[in-house]
Amino acid sequence: MNLGSKGKKRSVLPSRPDPPTVDQILEDISQAPSNDPIFSILEKIGQDSPRSSPDSDTELKFQQCRRFVELNQQLQEAQKRLLLQRAELQTAGEQLERDVAEVKGRAL
């Protein structure tokens, strides 16, 4: 019975794309339909500025960009946590493999 993971191949993940620029974000927001889910999310958190006047449209876009930046920061922090947890799991897995090999060596 093979308890180790030596026979398993690890997949290599593709590199992540660069984050969008501010201009790309603004373009995306300006082209989004009014029924886009982000608008309903913003309404739920109390940022339901009407889109009728240029000033309110600018304010809405600003609030949307600000929320996007906040969410992006939260995602980056989560990514860092996940990378740390992954490293910890890899270390624990390697230690487990060494312990199993040691136990097998003692049994012989």
Q: What is the pLDDT of residue 73?
A: 93
Full 3-state SS string of 62-98: HHHHHHHHHHHHHHHHHHHHHHHHHHHHHHHHHHHHH
pTM score of the predicted model: 0.43
Q: What is the pLDDT of residue 34?
A: 75
Tens digit of pLDDT for each residue in 71-89? 999 999 999 999 999 999 9
Residue type, 96: L
Tens digit of pLDDT for each residue in 13-49? 788 888 888 888 888 877 888 777 767 776 666 654 4
Q: Give the integer Cα–Cα distance in Å for 16 and 82.
A: 15
